[in-house]
Amino acid sequence: MINIEKHWYDVVVIGAGGAGLRAAIEARLAGKKVAIISKSLFGKAHTVMAEGGAAAAMGNVNSNDNWMVHFRDTMRGGKFLNNYRMAELHAKEAPERIWELETYGALFDRTKDGKISQRNFGGHEYPRLAHVGDRTGLELIRTLQQKIVSLQQEDKVQHGDYQARLRVFAECTITELLLDETGGTKRIAGAFGYHRESGEFVLFEAPAVVLATGGVGRSYKVTSNSWEYTGDGHALALRAGAKLINMEFLQFHPTGMVWPPSVRGILVTESVRGDGGVLKNSEGKRFMFEYVPDVFRKQYAETPEEADRWYTDPDNNRRPPELLPRDEVARAINSEVKAGRGTKAGGVYLDIASRRPAAEILKKLPSMYHQFKELADVDITAQPMEVGPTCHYVMGGVEVDPDTASAGVLGLYAAGEVSGGMHGSNRLGGNSLSDLLVFGKRAGEYAASYTDTLGKRPKVDDKQVAAAVEEALTPLARDGGENPYTLQSDLQDVMGDLVGIIRRKGELQESLSRLSELRERIRKVGATGGRRYNPGWHLALDLRNMLVVSECTAKAALEREESRGGHTREDFPKMDAKWRQVNLVCALTPDGDVDLTHQPIPTMTPDLLALFDKSELAKYMTDKELS
Ligand code: FAD
């Protein structure tokens, strides 16, 4: 008999990054009994790794900033494929979410007159990123955790138990969502998973689940993402009947470490460029001036002199091209390396040493200084860094209602990186931390209010639980199965080689046939050893998630015959206004295959359209739309 630990909650939040914690706080404030589940240790999520800051139009450093400018920048960054309503809510609510963090105990860096300081970042017209040196994510997570502890202390006073209404289950992986399908309507009934340390199974009965599981970057070898990011939330949503949108759009951050090979992909924050760093090729040329696309020409400097003046006089000069949106900079670096002007390790140079005094670099970029000193023996106050593109962020994700974060299945919500739409085809740096605060709060609020509408709680179906147990145990029962590490490496090769930063029809077709072979092999994955802390078994279970999410990305990338944001087709190098009107949507067929369909994107309301010049809209929209 398999033993299953059972719990009963109103709202289960899967993921303890910023989105998950913010959702959990909101649901608990609404009086609900809430579980927070995290695959990794509590406090270790991508959110904690965020360096540069959280974008919010507070106007503290340049009073011209406001939500409308932020909205415009976000839409431009996403090349107008964003869900406009999400971009609007995000731009309007981000400042309040940042200020609220300070009421929870956060302390952001200050301007001379004591306001929250804001720094420049790519694609943001004004200094907009609230930050704490280059360790902003750490402060964000620390503060949200502190708020959770303070709520638990209230619960201790009221109910005699710290965990009465808010409990954290760390190192616990959810492998399946459970549905009540009585009456032909799918409703969330709970979630099933295992404790990583003991291998024991655990069942959470709950009518509402918030997915806040972050990204998918481990499907690539060169990535800034850590081991947990295997697209679990994306895959859980698909299997529960929700849809994914925009999966072709992956952000390759322009600056990951390229040397030494063991640390290839680790992020070099955009703040280095925001604070004055410039990109140079192996000939010493500052090359970004050659790569300003027409749609951005008006906003970016044409000469190094103008670009350098901008740091001290932004009102009378245009921005340096190093601060173009990330997709543009990543493609430019890729082109320089391909043209033979890269470094020996296949990157370019990022130089802040010759541009800022050592003391300033140490003060503003302490983590970067230590990262390079310890991992590459490079002193960034004296030498340039070597950098190149690294898989960083997925713009695609679970299709959600913009206001409620509902994922289209009753009781299922999604927020943060796992959700799609907000960032369109490309995310601006800093917009993720604010996104997860804005939509994390909304997801928690609406998940809680959904549970108020229920007459009867949905019922967990024992057959689904038995199937989840069997699925989880199969790799352990298989003798001589495929090795999970080999499978992961093969999958990463397919994605890196054939569905990477520059894509071509033939290669994408090949990727789909290689993924289909991998699908068969993953069905035969085996893991040696038992259930007690067994990373090989854990990876074996993650692989089916990585596979289905990769299939969505490859299928959508083959279908979208244009280049836009985080999707570049060598055979269709231009943006096409007709494709701007289309979201590619992935769902699962009853057999578990990925079904891809076209869906029109919501039309922007006239008041929001009026925020743009018609001449700018003409660069993105069809004549019919404009008329
Ligand atoms: P995460 O913070 O990624 O948390 C996901 C959680 O889900 C984790 O707790 C994980 O353990 C859990 N989880 C996953 N699968 C399961 C499962 N099956 N069962 C249970 N739990 C699960 N963005 C910015 O805006 N500004 C920045 O300066 C910035 N810098 C960055 C630097 C780095 C190095 C990286 C990697 C990203 C950076 N980003 C930045 C992006 C940003 O940090 C992430 O997009 C964001 O933190 C995602 O938050 P999240 O809450 O959605 O998920």
What are 315-342's pLDDT values in tens digits? 899 999 999 988 889 999 989 998 999 9
Residue of 432, 442, 544 with the most ligand 1 atoms within 8 Å of its CB, for mutation: 432
| pLDDT recorded at residue 274 | 87
| pLDDT recorded at residue 14 | 98
d(CA 568, CA 503): 6
Residue 177: pLDDT over 80? yes
Judge if ipTM > 0.85: yes
| pLDDT recorded at residue 571 | 95
Residue 587: pLDDT over 90? yes
| pLDDT recorded at residue 625 | 87
Residue 1: pLDDT over 80? no
User: Could you give phi then psi for residue 211, rounded to 5 degrees?
Assistant: -85, 125
Residue 262: pLDDT band with limits 50, 70, 90 = confident
Half-sphere exposure of 160 (CA within 13 A, CB side): 0
User: Could you give phi then psi for residue 346, rounded to 5 degrees?
Assistant: 90, 25
CA 449–ligand 1 middle distance (angstroms):
26
The verdict on the CB of residue 46 being under 6 Å from ligand 1 is yes
In eight-state DSSP terms, residue 499 is S
For residue 98, what are the CA distances in angstroms to 50, 143, 269, 603?
Answer: 15, 11, 21, 29
Q: Determine the straight-line distance between the first and last CA of the chain, rounded to whole angstroms.
A: 67
Residues 6+ apart with CB under 8 A from 331: 291, 501, 502, 568
Do 325 and 77 meet the contact criterion of CB atoms below 8 Å apart? yes
- Three-class SS of residue 250? strand
d(CA 534, CA 130): 40
| pLDDT recorded at residue 578 | 96
pLDDT in tens, 91-115: 999 999 999 999 999 999 999 999 9
The verdict on the CB of residue 565 being under 6 Å from ligand 1 is no
Side chain identity at 622, as an amino acid letter?
T
| pLDDT recorded at residue 133 | 87
Residue of 39, 44, 46, 219 with the most ligand 1 atoms within 8 Å of its CB, for mutation: 46
| C-alpha 23, offset from chain centre | 16
Average pLDDT over residues 491-502: 94
Least confident segment among 257-266, 434-443, 588-597: 257-266
476 is in an annotated binding site: no
For residue 256, what are the CA distances in angstroms to 350, 379, 429?
Answer: 10, 16, 14
| pLDDT recorded at residue 216 | 97
In eight-state DSSP terms, residue 624 is H
pTM of the model: 0.94
- Three-class SS of residue 487? helix
- Three-class SS of residue 41? coil
The verdict on the CB of residue 39 being under 6 Å from ligand 1 is yes
The verdict on the CB of residue 176 being under 6 Å from ligand 1 is no
Do 375 and 263 meet the contact criterion of CB atoms below 8 Å apart? yes
User: 195: left (phi > 0), else alpha (psi -120 to 50), else beta?
Assistant: beta
Nearest to 422 by CA among 168, 249, 570, 305: 249
Residue 295: pLDDT band with limits 50, 70, 90 = confident
Question: Of residues 97, 319, 326, 356, which has the active-site annotation?
Answer: 326
Q: Where are the alpha helices (DSSP H) in 214-364?
A: 232-240, 271-274, 304-310, 326-338, 358-364
Residue 314: pLDDT over 90? no
Q: Annotated catalytic, 326?
A: yes
CA 52–ligand 1 middle distance (angstroms):
14
Do 243 and 585 meet the contact criterion of CB atoms below 8 Å apart? yes
DSSP string, 426-470: SPPTTHHHHHHHHHHHHHHHHHHHHHHT-SS-----HHHHHHHHH
Average pLDDT over residues 209-217: 97
Average pLDDT over residues 481-510: 96
d(CA 446, CA 23): 9
Do 292 and 123 meet the contact criterion of CB atoms below 8 Å apart? no
CA 392–ligand 1 middle distance (angstroms):
10
Do 9 and 31 meet the contact criterion of CB atoms below 8 Å apart? no
Average pLDDT over residues 40-46: 92
Residue 296: pLDDT band with limits 50, 70, 90 = confident
| pLDDT recorded at residue 325 | 83
Q: Considering the chain, what is the average pLDDT of its residues?
A: 95
- Residue whose tokens read 């990583």: 196
48 is in an annotated binding site: yes
Residues 6+ apart with CB under 8 A from 38: 15, 16, 20, 44, 45, 168, 169, 170, 171, 172
Q: Which residues pair with 54 in a beta bridge?
A: 130
The verdict on the CB of residue 50 being under 6 Å from ligand 1 is yes
